[in-house]
Every structure is written in structure tokens, then in C-alpha cells.
Structure 1
């Protein structure tokens, strides 16, 4: 029995419609949006436009043209940080960020951007009062993940959004762990910039993602090149999305992403979230009965996603993950999960943790099997 429980890294399997869309695009369309005026190019442009519209609907963004395609959430975060932060400006972040946020921030720090890190509790909780206390007149941005890929903790983005806007600064949110599986309303939550991974909760192929920008935010380009039309100017166009989409995009991936987002919209984010949380609750309940096992993150299920990371006394997470895979066919992820800051907070920085992350296509029977497999190892 093969069980895939690494959806926090990449969702799998995808809806069948996603596979068919990519295959159809590669065989029947093949063109690049904005490059030419023939029928295949027009079809590629239609697909790209429809994908922007679907994503704007999913995130309650007012303008589909402000949906910028990227290759992943990491690229989107870099685009936002490096397009808005200048030397001498101040940015606030949390102590549980993924390297997709942490590393570009540290690179900017070397260039003169000042960073303040708000400490989280060992289970990853952030107090908005602590965040407001470090805001300054020169704070340009608050940059936070929506949910931790290690602890599962959901940060109070709506409360933070109210505080950030009261102080007239910008809020960038890394929604890699929540886009498609947790309700996001950019306008109601006060999110100015939303980075997302297309290959996770929106069921797109690898190599898809994006940055959604609220109207009125002007970003400097961080990469320049061809934009299709117009070609004559020596600088990138002012209007979005052309300004921030230099070069040929992953059009086949975008075609698959469209069907993935449509699947989410048809199923309903609330339904997807409820199913994943039922599996997470079942998983946690069974894991809690194992002697010597500790579960990271909040106890309150309303404060977490379906990400469940654990440590087991006298066992190294990497070894447990390897045996689960090779002997029992259970796919998990162990180690530091590209998020050593979160492991520092949780006290697991030496060996990391073993992470289970069920998704919409997992079943209760698979959860039972995964836990029983772990019991057989211990």
C-alpha cells in the first residue's frame, strides 16, 4: 500500500483534469501568450487570462491583471521584497519563517535593509500586540507566512492586517501552505501582496506560482527582458502583469494551474479544508497514544493546518522517514524542512522532525495505515 503524506511540499496526486490540460496544451497549443497574433497564441493568451481571473476569484483580489505568474512562491516572495524594499528601510517578520522569506530578507539586510524579528512561542503562535510594538514610522513592510510548514501554526493575519494598515505600511503574506486549502480574502484580511505556490493547494504542476498585488502598489522590477508587446522601449512596461513577467512563462504549467484552481473553486475551499482537518485530527489523536512521541505546534486544531510534525524519543526523524518509505511505502518528510528558524523555536534544530501532511485525496484508511506503520517501527 503506497501512501503519500507530503502534500505540504507538493500536492499529489493532481485532479485528472490537470494532467489532461497540460497534455492538451503541449500537443495542441504550444504557443507563448503575448508573442504573435495567430490562433495558437490567442488560445494561450485566453488560458493565461482565465487563470488570472480564477486566481483573483479564489483570493478575492479586485484586479486579475495584478496576478503575476512566477515559477514558485519563493520567486514571488523575492519579487515582492526586492521590488519594494530599499536600503535604510525597515521590515518586520516572524521567527518561524521559511527560507523562502528568511534568506532573501537576510540578503537584503546585507544591503542595508533593517529587519526586526518578532519572536513566536514554541508552538509558533504570534501575538499581534508584540508585532505592533516594533512597528516604526520608517517600517515599509510586514512580511509573514500565513501558516508554518513545520508547526502547522496559522498566524493571525486578519488582526495583523488591521494593525499594519493603521500604521500605513504594507503586508506581504507567504500563503504557500494555505492557498487553496484555507479561506483567503485579501481585501477582508488586509493583505497587500500575496505569494502562493501553484503546485500545492491549488493543484497545479511544478513550476507554477504567483504574486497577487493590490491596486496602487508600484514595484521596481527585479528582472528585465522581453514582454512581448511593447518591444520598442528599453525599460519594462509600467502596467501589470507585463512589468513583472519578463521572458517566456511556463504556459503549459499555467494551463494545468487553471484546471487546478477550477477544481478548488468547484469543490469549495471550505470543503477541502474540512476534509484535511478531519484527517489531521485523526492523525494527531492516534499519534498522541504512542509513548515517547511529541507533536509540534498548537493543540487547538483551529489554530493549525493539516501539517503534523513529530519527534520520537531515541529516534532520528530521517531514519524513521526512510523506513516508512522503504518498508511500508509511506511518503513523509523529515529534517529541517527548509525552515530552520521554526525548528529553533520548537527546540528541534538538531535533528529536525518527521512531518506528515495529508491532503484532499488522502483517506482515513491511509491515516490508519501510516500510524500503524510507524508503530511497527518503534
Structure 2
């Protein structure tokens, strides 16, 4: 059997660290209890695990407090909690054509209902948004500006810090829109300080750079937006059970229902294992350097293969995510050939990003996306390049 080569890390990290699986198995077999649903020791310990995870996440994104972190079933759920919980009828939103459908679809839904208006700012041929153009779209009724940190189609990293700083300087006081950032591709990979970038709301899954299992995610909400976030899911929270009203305190207001404590325990173990005894910021600097080196090699090798067209290459490559096409071979067919004949797993299609492909000039059926992880070896990249050379030579 051909050895498996997994190059779809932008979808989810594989393999998950053994410490994650061991922590989940051990907890499920010996300690499992519903968090916040009992006064007995193990239920209280489950709650303590959750607060430890909040503190850990807060350190990774330079948040002021663990009380700014709510936990969700994924990045999509967290983004929906932010968008649907913050926006009100009559609001205006500014976003970009580079966004994932986890942002575009809820905004499209609200606009289709007549609840909000929205402006989608175009991006250049690499998928990058120009901050001046983005900020010029902000109006007096703009209540949110939503920009992803990095794209999942080609790894383009947006100028988040410049956007957040200028948004704060140019729109002070009550007229400042909330700045929402989707960090699905960068949490746990690249340094990102919510305070330095003046981010009000930031969402990410736990199963990519965070090393957690699927079905985990978080929403950071700065203290200044807590009073404006409304629950979007209603049910038990383990407290104030005599009241039919949802608690309004963040983060519990957005956490109705039982949490997946075994998964959260595994996520906590993964984050702690990644940085061992070093500060999260120090680990992220090392991770960023490793990924940048992988990205540069990936693009350099792909450039040297005749017959391959790279889609939307960033000027400064920071993440090892590349989209490509080969004339005469559909992206889905190319992915199938790599899988069945070479054991290489990559993704094909539009990658849940509806609007960016026009700017990138992708084929109608989308692109073949290669996304490496920090553990991707030189040998795996060599086998990918050899496979693509063989395919293009026989085309």
C-alpha cells in the first residue's frame, strides 16, 4: 500500500499529537462529568479544565483575560455567534471578497432578510485587501468590519494590524465599528495579538494550528463589546436555572448546553504540549519561521514544474498553502489521481470561499490546494513534486 501523504492541513491538522488523544481517552474513561452541572468533585474539575483552556487560549492571542473567551463547536459556530449576536437591524457591515463562507453566508442571510446592509470590498490578484479601500467603505452606520487574518485558498495574510490600528484612530468613540477577525488559518501558527491589532472579536477553530480535535473552537470578545453580544443559542447553562431568561454575562451567555469536555481537555493538552515550558508568543515566532520556510520551498518547487499555473501567489509567502491548476485536467480529477496513484491527499474545488476566485482568476471548477503543516517533511514535498512532474509530463 502506498504510504499516506497528508497535505490538507488547511482543512484540519493530521495527525493530532498523541498527547491530545491520550488526554481525551484518559479523561473519558476515568474522569468524565458534565461541567457546571453538579457540586460533586468531578463536575467541578470539569469546569476547572474549561477555565484553564480559556486562560491558555487567552495567552496565545494576547487577550487581557480568560473571561473574554467563549468556547464553541468550531470556528463557524464562533463566527455565527459573533455576527448574529452583535449585529442589529439597520446596521451596515464592511467585509472583503477574501472571506470564508462562515462569514459571507451569515452576512448574506441577514442582508437577504433586509436586516442589515453590507459592502464587500474587492481584493487584488493575490487576494489581498487594500486597507485604504476597506476603510473608505466604512460609513456612519457601519457597526462591524470583518476581515480574515489569512485565506484558506492561497495562504494570503491580510494587513490586520494596520487595519485595526487605522480603524481605531479614524473612528473613535461610539462610532467605531467592531473589528471581527477570522483566524482559522493562523491561530496556533502565526503571532497575533488582539490588543496590538485592536481586534474586538476573533474566532478560530481548535483543530488546525491549535492541535485540538475536530468540533472545538473559540470566540474572543473584548470587554468593550460584552454588553452588546446577545445569545444566539438558548438552553441550560448550569446556573440561574429558576429563570427562563438566558444569562447575559459573557462568556456564559453564548455557551448554552453541555460542553464537549473530553474534546476540550484534549485541546488544552495539545496547546500546552506545543509550547512546553516556553511562552506562547515565543513558540509562535518559531512556528512562523518554520512555516515561512516551508512555504518558500513549496512555491519554489511548484514554480519549476512545467505546465503548472499557480493561482494568486502572495508577494510575501508566509503560509505553506498554494493553489494551482493544470490545463486540461479538472481540479477534482487531479486530486483523485494524486490520491489513488500516489497516496497524496489534497483538496480540490472552491474551498468554501465563494467570492475570491474571480480576483484570483481561478478556473470555474476551482483549484487544487496543497496545504502543509509544521510536521510536513522534505521527503513528502519531494514526492509531491515528483508526482506532479509525472502527471504534467504525461498530460
Same fold (TM over 0.5): yes
Q: Write the deviation string for residues 308-334 of structure 1: whole angstroms up to 9, x where unpaired.
A: 111112221111111111111111001
Partner SS for 2:144: strand
* Aligned with 2:237 (options 227, 251, 274): 227
1:245 and 1:116 map into 2 onto residues whose CA distance is: 30
Q: Say whether the 8 Å CA contact 1:290–1:375 is kept in structure 2.
A: yes
> Within the alignment, does 1:160 sit opposite 2:183 as a pair?
no
* Aligned with 2:18 (options 16, 24, 29): 16
Q: Say whether the 8 Å CA contact 2:310–2:324 is kept in structure 1.
A: yes
1:97 and 1:190 map into 2 onto residues whose CA distance is: 19
Give 2:138's aligned residue. Answer: 135
Give 2:270's aligned residue. Answer: 260
Give 1:145's aligned residue. Answer: 148
Give 2:285's aligned residue. Answer: 270
Judge which range, 231-240 or 77-86, deviates more.
231-240
Give 1:290's aligned residue. Answer: 305
Give 1:53's aligned residue. Answer: 55
Give 2:255's aligned residue. Answer: 245
Query: How far apart are residue 344 of structure 1 and its match?
Result: 2.2
Query: How far apart are residue 273 of structure 1 and its match?
Result: 2.0
2:274 and 2:84 map into 1 onto residues whose CA distance is: 31
> Within the alignment, does 1:6 sit opposite 2:8 as a pair?
yes
Give 1:308's aligned residue. Answer: 322
Change (3 A) 1:63 1:87: same
For residues 6-85 of structure 1, the aligned pairs below 5 Å read: 6-85=8-87
Give 1:93's aligned residue. Answer: 95
2:320 and 2:199 map into 1 onto residues whose CA distance is: 23
1:146 and 1:296 map into 2 onto residues whose CA distance is: 19
* Aligned with 2:382 (options 368, 372, 375): 368
Give 2:109's aligned residue. Answer: 107
Give 1:120's aligned residue. Answer: 123
2:314 and 2:237 map into 1 onto residues whose CA distance is: 48
1:352 and 1:45 map into 2 onto residues whose CA distance is: 44
Partner SS for 2:143: strand
Q: Write the deviation string for residues 162-205 of structure 1: whole angstroms up to 9, x where unpaired.
A: 12223112100000010000101000011110100111110100
Partner SS for 2:239: coil
1:238 and 1:331 map into 2 onto residues whose CA distance is: 44
For residues 192-211 of structure 1, the aligned pairs below 5 Å read: 192-211=200-219
Query: How far apart are residue 349 of structure 1 and its match?
Result: 5.0
Structure 1 stretches lacking a partner, 5+ long: none
1:32 and 1:67 map into 2 onto residues whose CA distance is: 19
Q: Say whether the 8 Å CA contact 1:145–1:174 is kept in structure 2.
A: yes
* Aligned with 1:348 (options 362, 365, 369): 362
Aligned residues: 377
Q: Say whether the 8 Å CA contact 2:154–2:314 is kept in structure 1.
A: no
* Aligned with 2:373 (options 356, 359, 364): 359
For residues 322-337 of structure 1, the aligned pairs below 5 Å read: 322-337=336-351
Partner SS for 2:324: strand
> Within the alignment, does 1:180 sit opposite 2:188 as a pair?
yes
2:373 and 2:165 map into 1 onto residues whose CA distance is: 31
Partner SS for 1:309: strand
1:25 and 1:265 map into 2 onto residues whose CA distance is: 22
Query: How far apart are residue 113 of structure 1 and its match?
Result: 0.3
